[in-house]
Structure 1
Amino acid sequence: MAVKKKPVKSSSSPKLLYAKSEAALLGAIEIYNKPNFLYREELFTILIVNAWELFLKSKILKINNNKLNTILAYEHPKKKDGSRSKARVIKRNRSGQPMTIDIFSALKKLTNQLPNNLRDNIEAMVEIRDNAIHFRNENANFAALVQGYCQASVKTM
């Protein structure tokens, strides 16, 4: 009697990305709830933006029947003569892994499914995240600003 093999779950499964999104959200909340934790607002934003990006990609996959190409990033490579090829290839990172679309591309793909205020909220958090990662956030009301985004994100997710 032949033993049936279980199908291999795709690492791009919407459920897997959603679970990772939840984990990032819980990590963000955990960090934010530590009042004496230095850099907590920045860490919160880094994790919450990651949570949103994973959530949006899981939604795109779910809508598109788990078609991985809907979240992969593509590019037109340069030919030997320096011109761009018409063929699209999967964009890869420095370690050779396939890259996926960025959060703005994910938001664009879901334009009709998301309210404008949610998109605005996510875009503002991305700006805070980018400043935290690349240099610093200089705003006298920074903690209060992040708290507002924190509450909105947790309620929405």
Structure 2
Amino acid sequence: MNDAEESTYNRLIEKSSEAFVLAIELYNRPSIKYRVEGFSFFMCNAWELMLKAKLIKDRGLDAVYYKDNQDRTITLDRCIASVFTNNKDPLRRNLEDIVRLRNTSTHFIVEEYEQIYVGLFQSCVTNFDEKMFEFHGVRMSDVVPPHFLTLSMSASPARPETIRAKYPPAIAEKFLFDEAEIEQEQDLFESQRYSCVMVTQMAIVKNPKNADFCVNIDSSSDKSMRVAKVFQDPKRTHPLSVKNVIGHVNKRLKKNGVVLMAGGKAKEFTTNDWKLFLNFYDLKSKEQYAYRHEVANTANYTYSMQVVDFIVEGIQDNPSGIIDGLKREIRKKKSEATPGAKDSKR
């Protein structure tokens, strides 16, 4: 980049970061009722500035202007299509749906829009964080505290009859149409790059070492509490395939600047590495990590984001030795289980 391009590039990155922070702050502020509209406006602005910075970096300053009108920069829609060329990419579809919300929100916005868009908003925040680092080397967790990247949802589901009774027919039908369309796309993609809701759950465990925090039960308290078993939808609690787990681990390691080593060489986390963790830690037997689906006489497993956290934390603690160490421990277990057996020399 020449001096003019570098100066414009740096300004775009700075303003993009500010727009991103404004979107997060607006959404997480409980006193703001304009949060859905405000979030969509500022988040779209953040994406547009960030993508234009990438186009300038890759193709030069002319790439962000119309060829027949050098006084006008290209739209966000054109930026998205230029950078994310696969129109079936869940990330692109997520962003396009939020752009559509921004474009129509001045006419059709209702408070209940939050309940259908919060999953898209959360994925949009995560996607922006990943792409800002991938394209420009900027970590948004260095700009805002990491826990602020999780959006706080306060909306409760509204029934169709409530929507129809509360709003004029045109607005009610538009809302119900958007709700059905987004639910359909969620079922189609089943990808956390399109929609993702962060849920905080509490459960009672026998071993305190497996808990994030501890509480006491006080019999003298005037407040009572009852333990109940609640149905869990595995599509929400354990949505990941093995391929998804591996992809998330590699993305997280790259984002955190962690280099995985094995045999003295840098490598990516692979299926074989996954099997080492799976077998050594018996992950399939732990409900917080794995869910067993049984159909007729066959069974398969899906996994939670907690298993990604577990693997990434283990690697970060010992990136250069954990894979080799797991291999040694598994060989040792096999050897102890079959006395007299020797490892093959081939």
TM > 0.5 fold call:
yes
Secondary structure at 1:37 match in 2: coil
Map 1:46-85 → 2, pairs under 5 A: 46-64=41-59, 67-75=60-68
RMSD, aligned CA = 2.4
In structure 2, what residue type is equivalent to 1:131? T
Match of 1:121 among 78, 94, 101: 94
CA distance in 2, matches of 1:56, 1:144: 28
Between the two proteins, the alignment pairs up a number of residues equal to 127
Kindly tell me: are residues 156 and 110 of structure 1, through their superposed partners in 2, closer, same or farther at Cα, counting changes over 3 Å? same
1:102 aligned residue = 75
TM-score by length of 1: 0.70
Match in the other structure for 1:153: 124
Structure 2 CA distance for aligned equivalents of residues 16 and 115 of structure 1:
31
What CA distance in whole angstroms lies between the structure 1 residues aligned with 2:81 and 2:29? Answer: 34
- Name the amino acid aligned to 1:130: N
CA–CA distance in 2 between the matches of 1:112 and 1:136?
30
The SS at the match of 1:99 is strand
Q: Which runs of 5+ in 1 are unaligned?
A: 1-6, 76-88, 91-97
**Is 1:16 matched with 2:11?**
yes
More strand by share: 2
Spell out, residue by residue over 1:100-157, the C-alpha distance to the aligned partner (whole angstroms, 9 max, x if none). 0001111121134898111101110111101123x1225x851122321221121112
Who is 1:36 aligned against?
A: 31
- In structure 2, runs of 5+ residues without a counterpart are 129-346
| Residues 73 and 101, structure 1, Cα contact 8 Å, conserved in 2 | yes
What is the alpha-carbon distance in structure 2 between the residues aligned to residue 50 and residue 129 of structure 1? Answer: 10
Fraction of identical pairs, as percent? 28
State the one-letter code of the partner of 2:32. Answer: F
Match of 1:79 in 2: none
Could you tell me how far 1:12 is from its partner in structure 2? 6.0
Given the superposition, is the C-alpha separation of residues 62 and 102 from structure 1 closer, same or farther in structure 2, using an over 3 Å criterion?
A: same
Query: Any conservation in 1 of the 2:81–2:87 contact (CA below 8 Å)?
Result: no
Letter of the structure 2 residue corresponding to residue 37 of structure 1 = I
Task: Report what 1:136 is aligned to.
Answer: 108
Task: Give the match's secondary structure for 2:53.
Answer: helix
Q: Secondary structure at the match of 1:38?
A: coil
- Bigger Rg over Cα: 2
CA distance in structure 1 between the aligned counterparts of 2:6 and 2:116, rounded to whole angstroms: 35
Distance 2:52 2:7 in 1: 9
Aligned in 2, Cα 1:15/1:121: closer, same or farther, shift over 3 Å?
same
Change (3 A) 1:61 1:31: same
Pick closer, same or farther for the CA change 1:115–1:60 going to 2, 3 Å: farther
- Distance in 2 between residues matched to 1:8 and 1:58, nearest whole Å: 14
